[in-house]
């Protein structure tokens, strides 16, 4: 495979030394401990909130009639969207042979897996009776009951299931040679054993490399359509409904773009933080940030197009309920959500037209954070503004979140952060194998 | 609180000697041939038990004892012979029996039918044979069954706040009788309105026995006692001067039926003008609502009288008022003899005299309005208060009244009374203040009789043995006079000597005493007083332009507060405001704008040093400078403790209905109001279709094409029709559904969040100016759409369609995604966000309909078209090998509706009411454009505005 843009200047041995050292020597940092402490507290809060939820019911949240979905669904869509970028960077750029992805794919894939894990909590816990969540699965039972195949929720269940399976396998397959590298460098018996088991007997033979490459291509080929299917299905969870603001054909591509948008923002944020924490400037270069920022700007425009198209079709179509919904969205009690979303998702990214901004880590971190916030607000806005005022004015009502809603949101962020912080300590955060190959190719191509 | 606590059981097993009623063991009942029939009716399986236990018998007993363990709060049938009604197909259902009896709220007497399931009263409906209801209900009737099973009922006598016994009170009563001697000096009795002939007989006996005793009547909300009975079935032009025949009047269930029937006839549509300071149910249904200050109303009455040719002093009126009066007078003249002018009980006598004269001039007397004997013979409360303060009262007996809460100054005066005895169902404020508190029986547990104002008498028969160690007001009066009878039945029969056994049985079965002449009623009646006409000038109050007026009104359901312990009524949205679990100060949109007040802003209302802090609610149709406060809240006991504010605190006397120059001071705080409908404007949406006789609302019979296959056609096609022209928005359907379908109450916080559980709600929409809007009511149950949006989105098939067109909810399959609710354009689905159903209280278990599942948390629920009733009809029909008959299945909401706005049945049966409704040119379906193809259809509303009427 020829790489278009080799990105770093380290030799293969340096790559392995540097990356395995992050796992084996674990340069201690106060920041890591503080961050892990906060993340653990938030995770504990999440666990406590889950216990209370199971004991008392979903009524501890602010959901009500007519707004029967709230934070839980917004969190779910948000997290699953964030997860998309990892797969996209890893698989789609792999298939299109974008060599620069090698510095990013490992932690981006990890981000995907963790985001999926966090997002998976919500569709289960938002159920009135979460202990019966398995009823969505088709399994043979004595009553002959099956899921209701016309419901988007059932297909969502399958789409997520397939996506989770492929993402986890893809992540693990990529890790096998790296686990072997860590195993080979490990001094203590315990680590040798653990990483040895994880490396499942990888010896680095040519045949193994060939099969690895084949498998990676197959998995990448599977993952890319799954990325689109899962977010299209998430979109159909809404657009199957007949509510003004949900019942829209633009939703599937709109949700795919939104997912990539928030995912790119999260990748940029994590790249900036990792690079700073572990001095990885040699691998995650300004050029990487620049490319990611361009990607974010591009999909940001697609998302903005979605906003414009929704408003345009509402007024052009002239359906009174759609028009009323747009009016309520832009001028009603939740108008601040709409305008905050526009500010975060459409306006803030315009700074990325300037290359100085695209290579400035601090500015990128701020914009990425704004985009992440904006995308959460967008999901929340889509849910609430369609539900709070639908067809019959007599049933209109407001949604006021409770402290438990906030606890679940904060706790999910804490859990994600905790998983990621543990990941950087025990798994090579950069792909050793791929970066070594770049280095080796550079050595081979020396004039 | 459960009456079957061990000590309660012991008390029942060892009754005090001479006690008139106590438990009979079931085997004693089985040994008695008469009792065996009763037992068989209640528990068929048990009556067949052989005395000698064989193996099967033993196992059956074992099963029965387990079943009884579950019905711990269950009582048995009463010992006396009671007579059930016959079922609709000529036989009495073995498991569910129906008994006719009667109930009273204040002076409003209604005939009811109590349905018993396995011996337990579970449902109350209007008695179709009783002229005051004709089968319809109001909310209080429907809620009566919860009163009966209320776990908070007082269940034992208390003396000075400590538990005591009836035996101890009997000893005390004997000592009292000795003390009263010949004349009964210092004995004072306070009761509500006396509407029971037996009670009236006992009262007369007591006053004869103790000539120095005094009987006072306190009904904080009665106002001027009614002495006329309107007949709305003949009135073409109705002018309601602060009168509420559809909501607050005695007999309002009947009046509503008559009015709706008139409105249903497009050739003779009545026209209703409502002139009132605060919107009432009548005003909300008026063709022309004219809000005026209470203080300005007598002047308008005088103006109208003068325009009709009745001599009256007419103060200066502005041009618009004069014009409107002329318009109304002309309308009244046009329909002379078929018109009706009504004054409400809160209007002064002078207005009533004017109204009487107007009806006389118009020739309405005897056609649309009849004189009735007034019930009022009691002395007023004010006299009693004076006596108490003067120390003339030694023994005060308070019979089912709560003056410590409802009468200003009573609590202080009561402290000076040496002996006080209170009889009541709850340990309320008066019970706490009295020396003796005696628990009272519920009307379903006692023998009595009641008589409506227009002379229809009913026998009150008990339908089960008492659930509490309580007695009736009759028992207590007998204790006071020493005329103790062993037999409460004999006591009531003694009031009706001319009823032979056959007539008595018929009276019990039918719920109405069939007698043309009403001798007892005449005896009860006081001589009609013709108060001399008060000069109108005396009433003309000084009204500054911005002076605010305070108007006192009863709570629409809690009334004077007597129903405050009833959680169903607490949670039922009030018809005018949709408020639950609390009261507010109603202000007009103009006042709200002027003072920059929003719904829920706390204000301080002060008058003459008395004040309360209350949240405001902006009520369209409220007179501009009138503030309405409602009674019934600010209670200091029971479930209502801490809810709302106490409007009695603003009232100086118990006959004050409005006062001037109230001060309103915003407090800068806000509070949460638990109201269920915060938007009352349809916008331009096609929700309620309305028209006039000349331009009737258009219907729709086109069904748009659909990609979905048509619903499979079963043997029956269940459907519903709701006539918006008949619906008056009284909410009786909502509470009937609650009783039928075991719908839990959720409490104030949950209602405020929007989580109420009612399966059928009544929406109201205003049209026109907010100062004087025209209002439409729309009951919304599940539409049972043929192409139901909820069914498509459920991932587990928990909501499905059956072949007869029912949209079913399978509770035990529901996982609670709530997508179905999101996707329901009518928002009729209700979700158990928390564990709402009270699974702990034993007596509430006994109250529930055994044919309806009690839902747990996490599942969705909604209107089922009373599927349990459909299934029962299926079973009956299958057993007899026939089709389900026309009109055999009725829904609970349909049964309760006082105006018969709701019809239900098989759309495939051309003879059914519902098929007829669906053929009406006014038929339309809600949100037709969504093509959900609802089985519930609406008939558009008609109003009959006067083209000559000029809006402000």
pLDDT digits over B839-895, tens only? 888 888 889 999 999 999 999 999 999 999 999 999 999 999 999 999 899 999 999
* A59 neighbourhood in chain B, CB within 8 Å: 750, 755, 833-834, 857
**B376 domain-assigned:** no
Same domain, residue pair B783 and B919: yes
**How would DSSP label each residue in A111-129?**
HHHHHHHHHHHHHHHTSSS
Domain with B299 in it = 228-371
Q: Please answer yes or no on whether B815 and A147 come within 8 Å at the CB atom.
A: no
B595 part of contact set with chain A, CB < 8 Å: no
A233 part of contact set with chain B, CB < 8 Å: no
Residue B917 pLDDT level (bands cut at 50, 70, 90): very high
**A345 domain-assigned:** yes
Same domain, residue pair B683 and B664: no
B23 part of contact set with chain A, CB < 8 Å: no
Q: Please answer yes or no on whether B795 and A394 come within 8 Å at the CB atom.
A: no
- Relative to beta strand B214-217, strand B187-191 is parallel
Q: How far, in Å, CA of B579 to CA of B673, rounded?
A: 7
Q: Please answer yes or no on whether B817 and A58 come within 8 Å at the CB atom.
A: no
How close is the nearest chain A Cα to the Cα of B765, in Å?
Answer: 8
User: What is the DSSP code (8-state) at residue B532?
Assistant: P
Q: Please answer yes or no on whether B835 and A57 come within 8 Å at the CB atom.
A: yes
Given A58, A148, A387, which is nearest B795 (Cβ)?
A148
The residue among B753, B814, B834, B837 with the most chain A CBs within 10 A of its CB, best to mutate, is: B753
How close is the nearest chain A Cα to the Cα of B287, in Å?
Answer: 22
Same domain, residue pair B807 and B916: yes
**B328 domain-assigned:** yes
**A3 domain-assigned:** no
Query: Which residue does chain B place closest to A57, by CA atoms?
Result: B834
Residue A374 φ then ψ, to 5°: -60, -40
**How would DSSP label each residue in B107-152?**
TEEEEEEEEEETTEEEEEEE-TTSTTTTT---HHHHHHHHHHH-TT
**Residue B261 is part of a domain; what is its CATH number?**
3.40.228.10
Residue B117: beta bridge partners? Answer: B96, B120
Residue B221 pLDDT level (bands cut at 50, 70, 90): confident
B927 part of contact set with chain A, CB < 8 Å: yes
**A7 domain-assigned:** no
Q: How far, in Å, CA of A170 to CA of A90, rounded?
A: 9
The reply to whether ipTM tops 0.85 is yes
Q: What average pLDDT score do residues A170-194 get?
A: 92
Question: How do residues B805-838 score in pLDDT, each as one tens digit?
Answer: 999 999 999 999 999 999 999 999 999 999 999 9
Q: What average pLDDT score do residues A167-173 get?
A: 93
Verify cis geometry, omega within 30 degrees of 0, for the bond prior to B689: no
Given B763, B817, B822, which is nearest A127 (Cβ)?
B817
Q: Which of B741, B761, B742 is nearest to B751 (CA)?
A: B761
Query: Which residue does chain B place closest to A56, by CA atoms?
Result: B834
Same domain, residue pair B784 and B890: yes
Rounded to the nearest integer, the mean pLDDT of chain B is 86
* B834 neighbourhood in chain A, CB within 8 Å: 56-57, 59-60
- List A residues 304-323 in contact with B (Cβ-Cβ < 8 A): 320
Question: How do residues B301-315 score in pLDDT, each as one tens digit?
Answer: 999 999 998 888 888
- Helix (H) / strand (E) element for A413: namely helix A403-426
Question: How do residues B451-460 score in pLDDT, each as one tens digit?
Answer: 988 888 999 9
* Residues recorded for chain B: 952
- List B residues 122-151 in contact with A (Cβ-Cβ < 8 A): none
Residue A241 φ then ψ, to 5°: -70, 160
Q: Are B252 and B358 in contact (CB under 8 A)?
A: no
A397 part of contact set with chain B, CB < 8 Å: yes
Residue B324 pLDDT level (bands cut at 50, 70, 90): very high
Residue B630: beta bridge partners? Answer: B553
- DSSP SS3 for A48: helix
**Residue B571 is part of a domain; what is its CATH number?**
2.40.40.20
Q: A263: buried, middle or exposed (CB in 10 Å: 19+, 13-18, 0-12)?
A: buried
Q: Which of B662, B560, B655, B555 is nearest to B348 (CA)?
A: B655
pLDDT at A428 over 50: yes
Given A57, A147, A390, which is nearest B796 (Cβ)?
A147
Rounded to the nearest integer, the mean pLDDT of chain A is 91
**How would DSSP label each residue in B558-579?**
TBTTTTTT-HHHHHSPPTTT-B
Q: Are B424 and B440 in contact (CB under 8 A)?
A: yes
How close is the nearest chain A Cα to the Cα of B861, in Å?
Answer: 12
Question: How do residues A3-60 score in pLDDT, each as one tens digit?
Answer: 445 456 778 888 888 888 888 877 767 889 999 999 999 999 999 999 999 999 999 9
**A78 domain-assigned:** yes
Same domain, residue pair B564 and B682: no
pLDDT over 90 percentage in chain B: 60
pLDDT at B636: 84
Given B679, B684, B793, which is nearest A241 (Cβ)?
B793
Q: Are B274 and B737 in contact (CB under 8 A)?
A: no
Q: How far, in Å, CA of A84 to CA of A70, rounded?
A: 22
**B852 domain-assigned:** yes
**B741 domain-assigned:** yes
Q: Which of B259, B223, B218 is nearest to B240 (CA)?
A: B259
**How would DSSP label each residue in B306-373?**
HHTT---------HHHHHHHHHHHHHHHHTTTSEEEEE-TTS-HHHHHHHHHHHHHHT-BTTTEEE--
Same domain, residue pair B666 and B801: no
| Total domains present in chain B | 3
How close is the nearest chain B Cα to the Cα of A250, in Å?
Answer: 19
Q: Higher pLDDT residue, B563 or A8?
A: B563
- DSSP SS3 for B158: strand
**B494 domain-assigned:** no
**A376 domain-assigned:** yes
Given A56, A136, A241, which is nearest B795 (Cβ)?
A136
Q: Which of B324, B262, B313, B218 is nearest to B728 (CA)?
A: B262
Q: How far, in Å, CA of A38 to CA of A31, rounded?
A: 11
Q: What average pLDDT score do residues A298-323 get?
A: 94
Same domain, residue pair B806 and B871: yes
Same domain, residue pair B880 and B737: yes
**Residue B907 is part of a domain; what is its CATH number?**
3.30.70.20
How many helices and strands in chain B, by DSSP H and E?
A: 32, 38
Verify cis geometry, omega within 30 degrees of 0, for the bond prior to A66: yes
Same domain, residue pair B664 and B683: no
Question: How do residues A329-365 score in pLDDT, each as one tens digit?
Answer: 999 999 999 999 999 999 999 999 999 999 999 999 9
B845 part of contact set with chain A, CB < 8 Å: no
Q: Are B597 and B584 in contact (CB under 8 A)?
A: no
**A5 domain-assigned:** no
B930 part of contact set with chain A, CB < 8 Å: yes
- DSSP SS3 for B688: coil
Q: Which alpha helices (H) appear in B549-661, and where do they start and end? A: 567-571, 589-595
Domain with A141 in it = 12-444
Q: How far, in Å, CA of B291 to CA of B279, rounded?
A: 8
Given B684, B792, B827, which is nearest A392 (Cβ)?
B827
Same domain, residue pair B616 and B683: no
Q: What average pLDDT score do residues A277-288 get?
A: 87
Q: Are B455 and B424 in contact (CB under 8 A)?
A: no
Q: Which of B790, B541, B551 is nearest to A150 (CA)?
A: B790
- Relative to beta strand B187-191, strand B395-399 is parallel
**A6 domain-assigned:** no
**B94 domain-assigned:** no
pLDDT at B107: 81
pLDDT at B523 over 60: no
Q: Please answer yes or no on whether A128 and B816 come within 8 Å at the CB atom.
A: yes
**B238 domain-assigned:** yes
Same domain, residue pair B586 and B648: yes
Q: Please answer yes or no on whether B857 and A128 come within 8 Å at the CB atom.
A: yes
* A387 neighbourhood in chain B, CB within 8 Å: 822
Q: Which of B423, B443, B438, B400 is nearest to B121 (CA)?
A: B443
Q: For residue B746, what are its two tokens? A: 């959720």
- Go through B37-69 and write b for each residue having 16 or more CB atoms within 10 A of its CB, e for each that does not: ebbebbbeebbebeeeeeeeeeebeeeeeeeee
**Residue A189 is part of a domain; what is its CATH number?**
1.20.1630.10
A243 part of contact set with chain B, CB < 8 Å: yes
Same domain, residue pair B631 and B720: no
Q: For residue B785, what are its two tokens? A: 């759409």
| Total domains present in chain A | 1
**B217 domain-assigned:** no
Given A59, A69, A320, which is nearest B833 (Cβ)?
A59
Residue B618: beta bridge partners? Answer: B587
pLDDT at B684: 86
Residue A129 φ then ψ, to 5°: -130, 80
**A148 domain-assigned:** yes
Q: For residue B232, what are its two tokens? A: 């709305």
A52 part of contact set with chain B, CB < 8 Å: no
CA–chain centroid gap for B33, Å, is 39
Q: What average pLDDT score do residues B205-213 get?
A: 91
């Amino acid at each position: 495979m020829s790489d278009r843009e080799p990105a770093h200047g380290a030799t293969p041995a340096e790559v392995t030394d540097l990356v395995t050292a992050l796992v084996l020597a674990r340069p201690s940092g106060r920041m890591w401990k503080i961050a892990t402490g906060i993340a653990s507290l938030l995770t504990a809060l999440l666990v406590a909130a889950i216990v209370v939820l199971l004991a008392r019911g979903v009524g501890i949240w602010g959901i009500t009639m007519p707004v029967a979905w709230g934070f839980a669904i917004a969190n779910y869509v948000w997290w699953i969207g964030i997860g998309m970028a990892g797969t996209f960077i890893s698989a789609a750029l792999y298939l299109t042979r974008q060599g620069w992805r090698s510095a990013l794919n490992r932690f981006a894939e990890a981000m995907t897996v963790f985001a999926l894990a966090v997002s998976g909590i919500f569709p289960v816990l938002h159920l009135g009776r979460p202990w019966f969540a398995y009823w969505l699965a088709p399994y043979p039972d004595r009553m002959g009951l099956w899921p209701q195949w016309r419901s988007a929720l059932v297909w969502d269940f399958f789409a997520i299931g397939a996506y989770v399976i492929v993402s986890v396998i893809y992540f693990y397959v990529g890790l096998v040679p790296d686990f072997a590298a860590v195993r080979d460098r490990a001094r203590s018996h315990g680590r040798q054993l653990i990483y040895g088991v994880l490396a499942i007997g990888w010896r680095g033979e040519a045949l193994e490399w060939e099969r690895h490459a084949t498998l990676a291509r197959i998995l990448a080929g599977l993952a890319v359509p799954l990325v689109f299917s899962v977010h299209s299905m998430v979109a159909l969870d809404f657009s199957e409904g007949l509510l003004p603001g949900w019942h829209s054909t633009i939703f599937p591509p709109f949700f795919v773009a939104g997912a990539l948008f928030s995912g790119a923002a999260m990748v940029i944020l994590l790249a900036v933080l990792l690079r700073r924490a572990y001095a990885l400037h040699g691998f995650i270069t300004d050029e990487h940030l620049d490319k990611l920022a361009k990607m974010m700007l591009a999909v940001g425009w697609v998302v903005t197009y979605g906003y414009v198209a929704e408003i345009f079709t509402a007024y052009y179509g002239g359906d009174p309920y759609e028009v009323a919904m747009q009016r309520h969205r832009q001028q009603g009690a939740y108008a601040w959500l709409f305008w905050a979303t526009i500010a975060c998702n459409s306006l803030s990214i315009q700074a990325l037209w300037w290359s100085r901004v695209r290579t400035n880590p601090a500015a990128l971190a701020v914009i990425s954070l704004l985009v992440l916030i904006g995308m959460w607000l967008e999901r929340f806005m889509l849910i609430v503004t369609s539900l709070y005022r639908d067809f019959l004015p007599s049933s209109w009502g407001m949604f006021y979140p409770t402290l438990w809603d906030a606890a679940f949101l904060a706790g999910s962020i804490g859990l994600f952060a905790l998983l990621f912080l543990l990941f950087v300590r025990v798994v090579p955060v950069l792909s050793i194998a791929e970066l070594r190959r770049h280095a080796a190719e550079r050595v081979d191509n020396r004039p | 609180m459960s009456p079957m606590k061990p000590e309660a059981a012991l008390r029942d097993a060892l009754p005090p000697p001479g006690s008139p009623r106590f438990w009979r063991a079931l085997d004693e009942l089985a040994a008695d041939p008469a009792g065996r029939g009763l037992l068989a009716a209640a528990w068929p399986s048990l009556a067949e038990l052989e005395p000698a236990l064989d193996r099967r018998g033993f196992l059956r007993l074992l099963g029965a004892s387990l079943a009884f363990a579950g019905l711990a709060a269950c009582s048995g049938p009463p010992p006396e012979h009671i007579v059930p009604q016959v079922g609709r197909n000529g036989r009495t259902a073995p498991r569910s029996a129906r008994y006719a009896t009667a109930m009273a709220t204040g002076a409003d007497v209604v005939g009811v039918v109590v349905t018993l399931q396995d011996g337990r009263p579970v449902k109350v409906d209007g008695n179709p044979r009783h002229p005051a209801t004709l089968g319809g209900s109001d909310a209080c009737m429907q809620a009566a069954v919860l009163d009966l099973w209320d776990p908070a009922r007082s269940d034992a006598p208390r003396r000075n706040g400590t538990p005591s016994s009836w035996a101890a009170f009997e000893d005390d009563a004997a000592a009292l009788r000795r003390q009263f001697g010949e004349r009964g000096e210092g004995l004072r009795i306070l009761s509500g309105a006396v509407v029971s002939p037996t009670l009236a007989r006992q009262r007369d006996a007591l006053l004869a026995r103790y000539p120095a005793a005094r009987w006072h009547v306190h009904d904080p909300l009665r106002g001027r006692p009614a002495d006329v009975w309107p007949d709305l079935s003949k009135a073409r032009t109705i002018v309601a001067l602060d009168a509420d025949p559809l909501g607050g009047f005695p007999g309002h269930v009947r009046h509503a039926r008559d009015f709706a029937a008139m409105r249903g006839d497009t050739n003779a549509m009545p026209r209703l003008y409502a002139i009132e300071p605060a919107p009432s149910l009548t005003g909300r249904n008026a063709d022309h609502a004219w809000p005026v200050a209470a203080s300005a109303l007598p002047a308008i009455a005088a103006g109208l009288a003068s325009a009709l040719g009745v001599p009256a002093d007419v103060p200066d009126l502005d041009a618009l008022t004069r014009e409107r009066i002329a318009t109304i007078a002309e309308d009244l003249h046009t329909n002379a003899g078929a018109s009706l002018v009504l004054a409400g009980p809160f209007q002064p006598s002078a207005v009533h005299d004017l109204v009487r004269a107007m009806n006389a001039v118009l020739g309405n007397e005897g056609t649309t309005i009849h004189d009735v004997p007034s019930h009022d013979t009691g002395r007023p409360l004010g006299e009693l208060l004076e006596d108490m303060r003067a120390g003339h009262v030694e023994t005060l007996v308070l019979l089912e009244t709560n003056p410590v809460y409802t009468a200003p100054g009573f609590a202080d005066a009561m402290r000076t009374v040496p002996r006080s005895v209170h009889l009541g169902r709850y340990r309320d404020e008066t019970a706490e203040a009295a020396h003796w508190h005696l628990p009272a029986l519920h009307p379903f547990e006692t023998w009595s009789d009641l008589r409506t104002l227009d002379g229809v008498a009913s026998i009150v028969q008990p339908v089960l043995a008492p659930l509490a160690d309580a007695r009736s007001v009759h028992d207590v009066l007998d204790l006071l006079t020493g005329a103790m009878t062993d037999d409460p039945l004999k006591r009531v029969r003694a009031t009706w000597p001319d009823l032979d056994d056959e007539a008595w049985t018929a009276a019990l079965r039918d719920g109405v005493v069939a007698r043309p002449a009403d001798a007892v009623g005449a005896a009860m009646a006081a001589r009609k007083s013709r108060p001399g006409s008060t000069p109108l000038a005396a009433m003309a109050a000084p009204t500054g332009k911005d002076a605010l007026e305070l108007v006192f009104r009863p709570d629409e359901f809690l009334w004077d507060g007597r129903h405050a312990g009833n959680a169903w009524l607490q949670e039922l949205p009030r018809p005018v405001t949709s408020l639950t679990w609390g009261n507010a100060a109603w202000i007009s949109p103009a006042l709200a704008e002027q003072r920059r007040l929003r719904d829920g802003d706390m204000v301080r209302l002060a008058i003459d040093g008395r004040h309360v802090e209350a949240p405001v609610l902006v009520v369209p149709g409220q007179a501009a400078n009138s503030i309405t406060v409602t009674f019934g809240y600010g209670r200091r006991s029971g479930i209502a403790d801490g809810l709302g504010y106490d409007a009695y605190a603003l009232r100086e006397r118990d006959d004050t209905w409005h006062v001037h120059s109230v001060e309103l001071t915003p407090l800068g705080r806000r509070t949460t109001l638990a109201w269920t409908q915060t938007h009352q404007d349809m916008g331009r949406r096609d929700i309620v279709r309305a028209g006039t006789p000349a331009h009737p609302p258009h219907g729709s019979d086109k069904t748009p094409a659909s990609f979905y296959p048509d619903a499979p056609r079963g043997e029956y096609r269940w459907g519903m029709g709701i006539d918006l022209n008949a619906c008056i928005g009284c909410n009786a359907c909502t509470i009937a559904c609650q009783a039928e379908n075991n719908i839990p109450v959720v409490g104030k916080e949950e209602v405020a969040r929007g989580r109420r559980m009612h399966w059928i709600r009544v929406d109201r929409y205003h049209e026109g100016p907010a100062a004087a809007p025209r209002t439409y009511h729309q009951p919304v149950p599940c539409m049972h759409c043929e192409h139901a949006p909820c069914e498509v989105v459920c991932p587990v098939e928990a909501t499905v369609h059956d072949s007869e067109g029912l949209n079913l909810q399978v509770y035990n399959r529901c996982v609670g995604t709530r997508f179905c609710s999101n996707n329901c354009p009518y928002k009729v689905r209700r979700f158990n966000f928390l564990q709402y159903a009270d699974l702990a209280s034993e007596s509430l278990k006994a109250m529930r309909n055994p044919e309806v599942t009690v839902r747990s948390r996490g599942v969705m629920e909604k209107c089922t078209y009373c599927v349990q009733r459909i299934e029962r009809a299926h079973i009956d029909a299958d057993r007899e090998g026939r089709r389900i008959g026309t009109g055999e299945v009725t829904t609970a909401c349909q049964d309760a509706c006082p105006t018969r706005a709701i019809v239900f049945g098989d759309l495939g049966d051309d003879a059914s009411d519902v098929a007829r409704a669906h053929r009406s040119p006014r038929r339309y379906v809600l949100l037709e454009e969504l093509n959900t193809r609802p089985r519930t259809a609406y008939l558009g509303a008609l109003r009959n505005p006067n083209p000559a009427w000029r809006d402000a």
